Each structure stands twice: as C-alpha cells, then as structure tokens.
Structure 1
Amino acid sequence: MVVTKELADELPVEAVEEAKARAATLLLAFRHGNQLAFDHELDRLFEEQVEREVTTLLVWIAAEAVRKAYAPEAGDRVLRALARRAPSDTSGVAVDEETADAAWLVDAVGAGDVAGVRAMVASTADTTYLLGGLLQAVAMMLPLLPEGEAEEITAELRHRHGGRTGRAPGIPEARQS
C-alpha cells in the first residue's frame, strides 16, 4: 500500500478522483460526438468554477496518451504539429528552434528583466531548443570564469542535490590540464 502525503494547496484525493471522473465524462462525450452531454458537463464546470483542475487532468490524460502511443521524439513532433495548426491570432506559443532565443534570455537575465524572462518562458511551451541554447551559452561562458569559480559552483550544486559526486552516466571524465 502506498502512503501519500497531501501538500497544503493540493487537492484532496477525493477531489482528484471526482475531477478525473469529470474529465473522463468530457472526453467520452467529445469522442462520441455527444454535444448535449459535453455542453451539460462543461456548463456544470463553469458554474462550479473547477475549470483549472479539470483542464489540468485533461492535459495529463492527453500527455499520457501521447506518451503511450508514440516514442518521445515522435510524440513531440505530433504535439508541435498540433500547436502550429492553431490560428495565428490565438497561438502565441513558440514551438521551434527559430523562436527559442536563448541569447535574448541570457541578456534579460543579466539585465534583471524578471517580467521579460517570465513572458518568454510562458510563451515557450517547447523548451527543448531554449534549454539547449542556454546549455550552449553556459558551456561557452565556463572558460571565462575566474580560476576556482566553476568548482565552487559545482560544489554548491552537489550540496543542493544531496552531495552526489562523480559524473553523469555516459559522460567522459574531464581532461586535466
């Protein structure tokens, strides 16, 4: 038996189960084209103002379906294609390499532009390229750090992550100069 601990702002288990049932009702009505049942359930959700919880569960269900139906890279391609199909006036989500501007993000962080960073992250659902660009930026900046700074940073990171030492699996040991 698994024992779980509820967080302060977490939904109680009963509420999660109820939201899952409501999400399943919506999905079944949508899948089978029962517009009356779909509209009825949607109206109930709007009246009770539980749209966020049910939307979260619907997204979780969809993510699980994509994860089980496709290999990770194929699932990402399917989702990117779906996101690109949205009308241009309603789609502000960056999903490809051309729109993930890691240089702008580094500049915004350096300038302390918290609102700008939040806006970019919020508009970038597919962070693959953005994180890749940031990783490349960090790799380019590391040699510019004063002697010993990189070691202090990695020691702090190791301390935060339980004191793990060594290197990630599959990563060769760094060359000593």
Structure 2
Amino acid sequence: MMATGELVDELPDELPREEVEAAKARAATLLLAFRHGNQVAFDTELDRLLAEHAEREVATLLVWIAAEAVRKAYAPEVADRVLRGLARRAPHDTAQVPVDEEAAGAALLLEAVAVGDVDRVRTLVAGTPDTTYLLGGLVQAVAMMLPLLPEGEAEEVAAELRRRHAGRLPTPRGTY
C-alpha cells in the first residue's frame, strides 16, 4: 500500500498527466456545448476529436465525469436506479444536441415585461431549461426594435450602458 502523496509510476499504456488534463478540458468543452444546445460547437469539437482519434480517451473521461456527478448528487443506494432510468430513456438518435426551443419563450417574456408582470417573468426564466435560446431570442427582439427607436435613442442607451460599465467597455473608434 502506498503512503499518501507518494508518486505512482505511469503504466506504459496510460496517458501522461498532461494529456489527461487536456482530455478533461476537451470533454468539458463537449459537455458544455451539449448542455447549452450549441450544435455547431458540439459538432466542431466532436469532429476535432474524431480526427485526432481520441474517441476512447474522451469516452472514458465523459463516463468518469458522469460517474462523479452521480456520486455527488445521489446516495449510493439510489445512484444505480438513477442510471438505470437514464439508460431506459436514452434517445435512439444521439447525434443531435437536445434543445427545448419551445420552452424558450422570448415573446412571452417580452409580453410579461411590457405589462410589468414580475412573477410571470420570474416563472418564465426559472422554467426555461436552457436559457441560451431565451437570451438569443431577447437579443433578436432588441435588434428588431432598434430601427423603431427615435433618432438618437439608441446612442443614448449605449452611452448610459457605457457609463454604468465605465472602464469595462472599449470606446468606439473616433469617439474620444
């Protein structure tokens, strides 16, 4: 038995520590893209991993990450039941990132804000499983509204934002 802190020799077929850390980072990138429904980022990272033939390393790390998450979230006597449930519900087509675009109601959110319904706003935001699409919808709505503002209003809003975030936003060229 080894003492705590004692170094372990690397096995011949084992990944060096630096490569393990790099693989963990790549697995995390893949998981973040999947979690946020970013199909482009997911496909890009997956294509890169497949081109480098890192399938086994990344699959191992993804399983390790999942096992750690289950271990931390569930009591040992519940963990296997949770995993069995996940296995039964696994999608047939696993190539797509699951995104619930229907739950991302930017129009509903805008309407709730317009009438000042704070509770509805909170409920909509809290009930959206992936806020990426909700925020994307809001950005699109703002972009659609900008041409409707009276002349000078957009600049005034931008100036107010710059004042609020002084020193954190770059100054546009030609404005000093």
| TM-score class, shorter | 0.3 to 0.5
TM-score, normalization: structure 1? Answer: 0.47
Which is greater in Rg? 2
Higher relative contact order (CA 8 A, sep 6+): 2
TM-score, normalization: structure 2? Answer: 0.47
